Structure 1
Amino acid sequence: MLSLVPPGASPDSVTLDKTLQHLLYWLSKHYDEMDHEAQKYADKVFESLIDLAEINVENLPDSPQRRRSRRLYSLARGEHFNVRELLRALEVSPSGEHEAWKEAYEFIQIYLQRVLDLLFDLTRAERHEPVDVSILGLLFGCIDEILAATHLARHNYYTQANAHIRTVLEVLDKVELFHNCPEWIEVWAGDDVKKILKELSPSAVREKLGREKFDPIYDFLSDHGTHATFRWLQARAVQRVNLQEPNRKTAVLWVGGSKLEHHLIWTSCFLIYTVTQVLLLVSRIGEEILHPEECMTYITGALDSFIKFTEKYMVPWAADSGLNPDELRRFLLEVRENTGK
Structure 2
Amino acid sequence: MIAFANALEPLRMANYLSRKNLYSWFVINADSADSTDSTGPASGAASNGLSLSPMYRADEAPPCDILFVCGGTHVREAVTNDVVKLLRVYAGRGTPLGGLCTGTFALAKAGLLNGYRCAIHWENLASIREEFPAILFSSDLFVIDRSMFTCTGGTAPLDLMLNLIRLKGGKSLASDVSEQFSVERIRDQKDQQHIPLLSRVGFGHEALLDAAVFMEMNIEEPFALDVLAEQVGLSLRQLERLFKRYLNITPAQHYLNLRLRRGREFLLQTNMSVMEVTVACGFQSSSHFCKSYRSLFGYAPSRERHQDHSLPPAPPPAAVRSAA
TM-score normalised by the chain length of structure 2:
0.28
Structure with higher strand content: 2
Structure with higher helix content: 1
TM-score normalised by the chain length of structure 1:
0.27
